[in-house]
Each structure stands twice: as structure tokens, then as C-alpha cells.
Amino acid sequence: MDVVKRENSVILLEDDYNTKYQGFNPSDEESWIFMKLMQNAYLEQSLLAASVISEKLKAGPIKGDRGIWQNPFLILWQTAMPAVLVELGFISNTMDLATLRQEDNRNRLADCLFEAFKDYKALYDSSVEIRHPREEKAAPAEPVAEKPVQTNSAPVKTEPVAAAPAIALYGTQIFASSRTIDPSDPMFYGYIPVVINIGSLNKYIIGVFEDPEEARKANISIKEKYPSSFMVKIVDGATSRFK
């Protein structure tokens, strides 16, 4: 959080920053709460985009992966869409600096980002198909007509079998990360998290109950330790926002 405050505090150097940034104050608690609410509106999509970008960059010239983390940076809050902040390398690192100085490597990084955006667009909007022009779509095989089987027996009537309803659980998602974190880590404050894996992302959820009212009661104390957390519903290993 200290890193976020230092990054956001640069707006104080601008003239009339209070008007330009709609009253946002990097040191004011109310501004933090408002910013977190705004950022959470596109949290799931942003995490998905970050996951795709992280995978694509593994094929680039800088392969170091520091993982995916959720932080309320001002530049992400000011967007009205899914948004991620990507650190491709550090000029303070001699190896990264040498890599970034070469145009070919910069182009490769740009290609990785383009491929990531293309894949994310396909996931976000399945109605859009993006293929390379040289890719030929194989023609589907012609269906083979089956001849009816003659039988003297009477048709057997079958009744539809109702599938067992999936059990829903309710809890509080405290954060998501590409890293696998030990459940005994002090950052969980003694809670044992339920981990839901979505692609390369791990969603960490605590205060999980079958009764939504019990989950709401637990959420009150959890919010004191994790202000940016929110309630979710878990069904068949998938999560959705829950109020």
C-alpha cells in the first residue's frame, strides 16, 4: 500500500490537482474507499486480462514474472473499463536495461501485448473471431445419414432425470493472485482460505458458509482487515459477485 501511496502522490505536483482529479486526495481515507469501489466494478475482467498478458509475456525477451496483484493505483481507477498496469522491465536493472535498448526486443514485447489483447478480446467477446489471414478453417465433415434400425419391440419410454442441484457457498474474496500462497501465511490473519483457481489466477476466499447470512456477518469483520474485499457466491468451482 505504501508503494501505491507514493505512486499516487505525484498528482500533488500538478497545478489545481484537486479539480483535475475530482477531489481525490492520496492521503484521504474517503478517497481511498471511493477509488476501491470504482476499481471493483471491472475487477474480474481486469484480473482476466492480467492473467492473459502474464502468460503471453513468458514468450518475450524478459521472462521474469513478479505475479499479478490487485492494487488501487489512480491510473487504473480513472478508467471506465477493464485496466491493468504492466511492468515490462526496470531500467534500474542492468539486464533489463540492455534488453530494452534493443529495438527488436521492444518489438517482441509489443507483439506479446498485442497477442494478449487479441486473446482477451476473444474471451471477453466470443462473437468476434480473430484469426491469422493464412489460417484456413477446416471444412466440417459431412454428416453420415444413419439408416433406421427395424425392431419389433415396443418403444421404451424414458423419464427425464433431474440433475442434483449444485451446493452454493458464500464467502468474502480478499484478493486474487497468480502466486500460490501458503494458507499459514500471516497475511491471512489466521483464516484458512478457500482457493478457487481460474486459469493462472488463484482467488482467495475466507469466511465461507452455506448460509449467506452467516457469510454476511463474517464479512463485517473481514472488511476491517481487507477493505477492498467483497462477497462472492461459489457454485461448482466458479465465483460470482454477491450482495
Phi, psi (degrees; rounded to nearest 5) at 140: -65, 145
Residue 1 pLDDT greater than 60, yes or no = no
pLDDT in tens, 229-238: 889 999 888 8
The b/e string for 203-226 (b: 16+ C-beta within 10 A; e otherwise) is bbbbbbeeebeebbebbeebeeeb
- Whole-number Å distance between alpha carbons of 142 and 52: 36
Residue 58 pLDDT greater than 60, yes or no = yes
Residue 140 is predicted with a pLDDT of 53
> In the structure, what pLDDT confidence band is assigned to residue 10 with cuts at 50, 70 and 90?
low
Give, as one character, the DSSP assignment of residue 61: S
The structure's pTM equals 0.45
Give me the mean pLDDT over the 86-102 stretch.
92
pLDDT in tens, 31-53: 555 555 555 556 777 888 888 89
pLDDT in tens, 141-164: 555 555 555 555 555 555 555 555
Residue 151 cell numbers, joined:
425392431
pLDDT in tens, 119-142: 888 776 544 444 544 344 444 555
SS3 assignment, position 128:
coil
> In the structure, what pLDDT confidence band is assigned to residue 208 with cuts at 50, 70 and 90?
very high
Q: Which of 215, 202, 216 is nearest to 50 (CA)?
A: 202
The continuous run of DSSP H or E covering 241 comes out as strand 238-241
Tell me the domains of the chain and their CATH numbers. Answer: 2-124 (no CATH), 168-241 (3.30.70.1070)
- Whole-number Å distance between alpha carbons of 80 and 93: 33
Q: Which of 171, 173, 223 is nearest to 202 (CA)?
A: 173
